[in-house]
Structure 1
Amino acid sequence: MADIPLELTRRAVAALIDHTLLAPEATPADVAATVDEARALGVFAVCLSPSMLPVRAPGLAVATVAGFPSGKHHALVKGAEARLAIEQGADEVDMVIDVGAAVAGDYDAVLAEIITVREAIGDRALLKVIIESAALPDAAIVAVCHTARRAGADFVKTSTGFHPAGGASVHAVRLMAETVNGKLGVKASGGIRTAAAAAELIAAGATRLGLSRSREVLAGFPE
């Protein structure tokens, strides 16, 4: 625990966490258990598949995903999925961009799809944009972050946690945080399994963490 800054208490870090259950085999019982665990841990939100909504989660924000995990959905489908989710009680939507469009440098296409989802949900929910940072070169990460801001997103997010290229990295989070310069939040997600890793990402500029192993991670922080 020597590498954990003293100000990063368990309670302070819990307030940054989206406790996440997006496994395709998740059952309603798993969702109920995840919500109970999230409340016990004092995290900020639960993040669940849209098909599992609505869900009762008193005291927690409810986040969900759109276009998950590939991003290869028509923008109108992503928008409809996001709109239905907030009608079923979601407070936040984490949408996956068309990563291939970003790889190809077609940022106008990325802009258009983020705007489509933003317009579908209006100001009724917070919008996070998943960019799959591990699959993008630095220049594309910067460009997509600028695009997300132009489109009216509230956060940029590193990863789905399902891409073979990997999840969150300190380098990507730092680059994203420097690019948005406090104008958007930065969510680190994918492969965060230890308190030390979480602390590094927070130091790099992450303002939210997507974790499926929240209890294990929080156990590494001081009370």
Structure 2
Amino acid sequence: MIGVNELANMIDHTLLKADATKVEFERLCKEADEYGFKMVAINSYPVAMCRKFLKDSKVHVGVAIGFPLGQTTIKTKISEIEEAIQNGADEIDYVINIGKLKEGDIEYLREEMEAIVTLSRENDIISKVILENCYLTDEEKIAVCKIAKEVKPDFVKTSTGFGTGGATVEDVALMKKIVGDAVKVKAAGGIRDVETALQMIKAGAERLGTSSGIKIIEEYKNFKESSSDVASI
């Protein structure tokens, strides 16, 4: 059974709402440090602020790029990433241009991914590619994952959490089947309890994006204690 600390270190502690304030970002960072979450997931503006809050912590600062629609140019996404890196980001989660995928313009998606992954590698930061699966057919999901298997971002990710649907076990399993060991899978969107979190991990997810990380960890502590009690009877 996975340990509590190991599970916590798979969680990206998320605050992406439009009306988030400095007080909330400070609390987010304190919670992430206290629980040992892998990353705080935020928009571009508060990156420098959160880096200061986490200056003595192992918690990463992750920034959402082209968020949540993906409908910005490659140049704009690159500029946003460059500024985020200057402000202290060490992970990026970018949304693909979903419209281009719908048009069947696979070369555009490859160009976008190669540009962003190259920049990320040059700056030694982790890159994640958000597919936003709720808008995609299985064939489209497979097409992006095949590009990722070749270009090798660190992760492919199911969702922004702002679309019409979030992560599903089926999508995680499909994505993992295509990328294999070449790329990791992050599940995000709608992961609000420990049961769902464990299902995603069993399906192949190695990161979880959620604003319910504390609830999940506290539930898991109780789950492990209950399991131990049963095992000792």
TM-score tier (shorter):
over 0.9
Distance 1:28 1:108 in 2: 40
Distance 2:4 2:194 in 1: 10
Give the number of the structure whose residues are more often helix, by fraction: 2
Q: Does 1:140 pair with 2:134?
A: no
Q: By how many angstroms is 1:103 displaced?
A: 2.2
Q: What TM-score, normalized by structure 1, do the two folds share?
A: 0.93
Q: Which residue of 2 aligns with 1:9?
A: 3
Q: By how many angstroms is 1:141 displaced?
A: 0.7
Q: By how many angstroms is 1:119 displaced?
A: 3.3
| Alignment map for 1:98-177 (pairs within 5 Å) | 98-124=97-123, 125-164=125-164, 166-177=165-176
**Partners of 2:129 and 2:153 within 8 A in 1:** yes
Q: 1:48 aligns with which of 42, 51, 66?
A: 42
Q: Which amino acid letter does the alignment assign opposite residue 127 of structure 1? A: S
Distance 1:185 1:169 in 2: 16
Q: Which residue of 2 aligns with 1:33?
A: 27
SS of 1:129's equivalent in the other structure is: strand
Q: What is the CA deviation profile of residues 120-155 of structure 1, one whole-angstrom value per residue up to 9, with x for unaligned ones? A: 334321110000112111111111011123334111
**Partners of 2:169 and 2:200 within 8 A in 1:** yes
SS of 2:219's equivalent in the other structure is: coil
Q: Does 1:77 pair with 2:76?
A: yes
Q: Which runs of 5 or more structure 1 residues have no equivalent in the other structure?
A: 1-6
Q: By how many angstroms is 1:108 displaced?
A: 1.0
Distance 1:91 1:62 in 2: 6
Number of positions where the alignment pairs a residue of Structure 1 with one of Structure 2: 216
CA RMSD in angstroms comes to 1.3
Distance 1:204 1:121 in 2: 27
**Partners of 1:80 and 1:120 within 8 A in 2:** no
- Which structure: larger Rg? 2
Q: Does 1:205 pair with 2:199?
A: no
Distance 1:89 1:209 in 2: 22
Distance 2:200 2:135 in 1: 18
**Partners of 2:152 and 2:183 within 8 A in 1:** no
Ranges of 4+ aligned residues in structure 1 off by more than 6 Å? none
Q: What TM-score, normalized by structure 2, do the two folds share?
A: 0.89
**Partners of 1:145 and 1:179 within 8 A in 2:** yes
SS of 1:156's equivalent in the other structure is: strand
Aligned identity (percent) is 36
Q: Which runs of 5 or more structure 2 residues have no equivalent in the other structure?
A: 226-233
Q: Which amino acid letter does the alignment assign opposite residue 169 of structure 1? A: T
Q: What is the CA deviation profile of residues 138-176 of structure 1, one whole-angstrom value per residue up to 9, with x for unaligned ones? A: 111111011123334111000000012x01000000000
Q: By how many angstroms is 1:10 displaced?
A: 2.1
CA gap of 1:119–1:183, structure 2 versus 1, over 3 A, is closer
